[in-house]
């Protein structure tokens, strides 16, 4: 053991020696710091180094004890608060760690490592916006290169064009600067250029395989694209190095949910909550996982706990409303109204409250005010999504031009011949989840979820650098040979493999947006089944309008937009009825409700499946369901919602006008 500093030595020399030991031999550093404190009790720097050394040797409770004492004696010392935050995080006291890190940053806003640590904790509690800001601040303050500091500031302030120009100029001179490459990947991610971001982050990791910040960014990018297998592989590498890292564990839980491993996801979220019991968003994420797994009462308790912790969290109220099976109390309704009266409510919380209040008033038959709140919620949401209805209509026109009878005849034997997939397409809220539940009740069929893989293939075939640029898809399909089309079909099956948990020969992909890609499906998976789930235009469209979707369905936030979208969908499906007669099986929701067994038998016959009584008792199926209808399809068939749109008919004029002849002809199809 190193002896205490004596008359011939100085405390400063001993402290310097201890500091050098911290990096290579923290156990000896702890001993040295303890000896210094015997001579100079409560010496701040020695206490700090003892706390750091204890944390690095795994004595986290000892680290918390010494650093808590230091902070009490040195309340204005930012590094002490920072190190206490790290120790508290290592001890599983996440809420306290967040508070300590925030205090450190109040005292010293340019403490880059504290921003990174705070971002990790905010990621764990699903505060994506706060985490993004924290990571941007970390980038800003973790470099001393003036150009990169300026680029970091631009990122924090969301001046993306400025950041991109500075970074590209810097990388011309320093092409292997991994910090700059990572920053440019962040620019690409914010612009929605996911492929560019992925390539940049892969380049980072080629140059610096241990650059875990870049690996974490890559895993997050995979999550945003629903590339769960790739994301899990990266997260597992990160967790191998830091098993207790809160952000890594939370991201793993989110990725596990994508691939249907809900039991593991729930267990992981529960572990996060043990460390962050006061974090409202963590409780909400836990509620989402419980709801999907069918644990309804537990989900409700989790959402209500989230509201107790943060009454202004509009998404928690909407999550309760979105259960579809509960009603708000008068007190809860008044609490939501009161939140809308405050000036400090965020844009996101505000539109969530409008949707939740709309549902609450709908349940009490107060339809005029209910519609007013749905309308206001949609207007707020639409302002942030940038949906272009003309783009969808243009895609339909181009697809009709390309996909002719002759086009498919020339490519009659292309793609993978696998019969495994059953695609359910249409619009959200059209009865597609009910069809999925019916089919997945058959022992030969496995239900999965709304798989993103067909949409992903389409995007990869026609990538765009900007919204103004026209995609090369679907026209590029005409240039692909048989080998390329086979490769795309094989790619789809490979990507979908992670979703399959049973030995059932068939599986369901119920991504509704795949109606726009029926031509692609025919070319790459010609033996797959395609089921068109269709519901009355006003019932389907208004049900979508009053639903806030977590992601993907940007066309639903305006009555005219959703009416045009439904019209475009019917037009393209009618085209495929002509050029691929009998290829698509259509289920009219109202007919299914009125003559349930006969329609189920027709459906099973189309799929080449024998009739099974379990399909009529679909509500006994205990599989996880992720969509807005998750609780409804766990009940026997009901007719109540079929005509529910009529309560709002006085306000549906713009929707009716946009639908035009499609509305008049339903359930038939007008000539196009």
| Cβ atoms < 10 Å from Cβ of 263 | 12
pLDDT band at 633 (very low <50, low <70, confident <90, very high): very low
pLDDT grade for 467, boundaries at 50, 70 and 90: low
User: 179 with 148: CB under 8 angstroms?
Assistant: yes
CA gap 309, 287 in Å, rounded: 14
Domains defined along the chain, listed by start: 11-244 (1.25.40.10), 413-463+472-622+631-665 (3.40.50.300)
Residues 490-516, mean pLDDT to the nearest whole number: 95
Query: What span, in angstroms and rounded, lies between the C-alpha atoms of 184 and 355?
Result: 37
* Closest by CA position to 282, among listed 309, 257, 312: 309
**Token duo for residue 182:** 């990572």
Residue 357 has pLDDT above 90, yes or no: yes
Q: Which residue has the higher pLDDT, 142 or 196?
A: 196
Quote the CA–CA distance of 333 and 509 in Å, as a whole number: 37
Give the residue from 187, 256, 183 showing the smallest Cα distance to 214: 183
Read off the pLDDT band of 465 (50, 70, 90): low
Per-residue pLDDT at 477: 97
DSSP string, 423-481: EEEE-TTSSHHHHHHHHHTSTTEEEEE---HHHHHHHHHS--SSTTSPP-TTGGGGG--
Which single residue is written with the structure tokens 């002809």? 665
List b or e across 311-325, with b for residues whose CB sees 16 or more CB atoms inside 10 angstroms.
ebbbbbbbbbbbbee
> pLDDT tens digits, residue range 271-299?
889 999 999 998 998 999 899 888 999 99
pLDDT at 468: 65
pLDDT at 9: 53
Query: Span 259-269, mean pLDDT?
Result: 88
Cβ atoms within 10 Å, residue 112: 16
Does 635 score more than 80 pLDDT? no
Q: pLDDT tens across 79-99, in order? A: 999 999 999 999 999 999 999
pLDDT number for residue 375: 97
Question: Which residues are CB-neighbours of 58 under 8 A, at least 6 positions away?
Answer: none
Q: How far apart are the first and last CA of the chain?
A: 89
Whose tokens are 């992670």? That residue is 498
Distance CA 672, CA 668 (A): 12
Token output for 170: 């810097």
Q: At what angle do helices 482-496 and 453-461 cross, to 10 degrees?
A: 140
Provide mean pLDDT across the span 64-78.
95
Q: What is the pLDDT of residues 381-421, one digit of tens each?
A: 999 888 999 999 999 999 999 999 999 999 998 999 999 99
What is the reported pLDDT for 622? 67
CA angle 279, 124, 23 (to 5 degrees): 120
Q: What confidence score (pLDDT) does residue 153 get?
A: 87
**pLDDT value of position 6:** 47
* Sequence-distant (≥ 6) Cβ neighbours of residue 587 within 8 angstroms: 431, 435, 531, 532, 533, 534, 599, 603
Q: DSSP characters for 485-525?
A: HHHHHHHHHHHHGGG--S--SEEEE--GGGGGGHHHHHHH-
């Amino acid at each position: 053991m190193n002896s205490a500093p004596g008359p011939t030595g100085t405390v400063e020399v001993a402290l310097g020696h201890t500091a050098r030991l911290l990096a290579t031999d923290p156990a000896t550093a702890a001993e040295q710091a303890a000896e210094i404190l015997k001579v100079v009790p409560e010496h701040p720097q020695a206490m700090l180094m003892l706390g750091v050394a204890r944390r690095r040797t795994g004595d986290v409770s000892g680290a918390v004890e010494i650093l808590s004492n230091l902070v009490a004696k040195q309340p204005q010392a930012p590094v002490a608060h920072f190190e206490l935050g790290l120790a508290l995080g290592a001890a599983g006291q996440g809420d306290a760690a967040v508070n300590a890190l925030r205090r450190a940053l109040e005292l010293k806003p340019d403490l880059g490592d504290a921003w990174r640590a705070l971002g990790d904790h905010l990621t764990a509690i699903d505060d994506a916006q706060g985490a993004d800001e924290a990571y941007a601040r970390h980038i800003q303050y973790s470099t001393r290169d003036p150009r990169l500091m300026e680029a970091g500031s631009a990122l924090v302030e969301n001046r993306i064009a400025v950041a991109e120009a500075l970074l590209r100029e810097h990388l011309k001179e320093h092409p292997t600067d991994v910090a700059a490459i990572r920053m440019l990947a962040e620019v690409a991610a914010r612009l929605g250029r996911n492929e560019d971001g992925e390539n940049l982050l892969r380049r980072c990791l080629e140059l610096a395989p241990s650059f875990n910040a870049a690996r974490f960014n890559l895993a997050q990018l995979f999550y945003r694209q629903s590339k769960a297998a790739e994301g899990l592989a990266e997260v597992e590498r990160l967790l191998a190095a830091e098993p207790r890292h809160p952000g890594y564990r939370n991201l793993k839980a989110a990725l596990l949910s994508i691939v249907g491993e809900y039991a593991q996801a729930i267990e992981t979220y529960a572990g996060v909550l043990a460390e962050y019991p006061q974090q409202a968003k963590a409780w909400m994420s836990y509620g989402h996982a419980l709801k999907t797994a069918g644990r309804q009462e537990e989900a409700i308790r989790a959402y209500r706990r989230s509201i107790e912790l943060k009454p202004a969290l509009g998404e928690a109220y909407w999550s309760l409303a979105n259960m579809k099976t509960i009603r708000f109390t008068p007190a809860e309704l008044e609490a939501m109204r009161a939140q809308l009266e405050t000036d400090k409510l965020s844009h996101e919380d505000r539109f969530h409250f409008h949707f939740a209040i709309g549902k609450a008033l709908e349940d009490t038959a107060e339809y005029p005010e209910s519609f007013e709140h749905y309308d206001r919620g949609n207007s707020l949401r639409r302002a942030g999504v940038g949906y272009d209805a003309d783009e969808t209509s243009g895609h339909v026109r181009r697809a009709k031009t390309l996909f002719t009878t002759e086009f498919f005849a020339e490519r009659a034997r292309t793609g993978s011949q696998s019969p495994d997939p059953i695609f359910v397409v249409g619009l959200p809220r059209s009865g597609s989840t009910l069809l999925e539940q019916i089919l997945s009740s058959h022992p030969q069929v496995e239900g999965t979820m709304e798989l993103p893989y067909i949409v992903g293939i389409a995007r990869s075939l026609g990538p765009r650098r900007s919204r103004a640029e026209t995609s090369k898809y679907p026209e590029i399909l005409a240039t692909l040979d048989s080998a390329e089309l086979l490769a795309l079909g094989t790619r789809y099956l490979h990507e979908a493999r992670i979703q399959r948990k049973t030995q059932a020969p068939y599986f369901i992909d119920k991504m509704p947006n795949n109606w726009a890609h029926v031509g692609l499906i025919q070319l790459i998976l010609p033996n797959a089944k395609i089921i068109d789930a269709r519901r009355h235009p006003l019932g389907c469209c208004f049900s979508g309008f009053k639903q806030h979707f977590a992601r993907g369905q940007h066309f639903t936030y305006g009555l005219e937009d959703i009416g045009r979208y439904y019209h475009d969908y019917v037009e393209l499906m009618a085209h495929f009825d002509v050029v691929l007669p009998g290829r698509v099986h259509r289920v009219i929701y109202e007919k299914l409700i009125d003559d349930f067994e006969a329609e189920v038998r027709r459906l099973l016959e189309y799929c080449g499946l024998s009739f099974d009584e379990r399909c009529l008792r679909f509500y006994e199926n205990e599989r996880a369901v992720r969509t807005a209808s998750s609780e409804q399809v766990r009940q026997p068939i009901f007719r109540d919602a079929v005509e529910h749109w009529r309560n709002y008919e006085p306000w549906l004029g713009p929707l009716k006008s946009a639908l035009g002849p499609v509305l008049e002809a339903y359930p038939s199809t007008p000539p196009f």
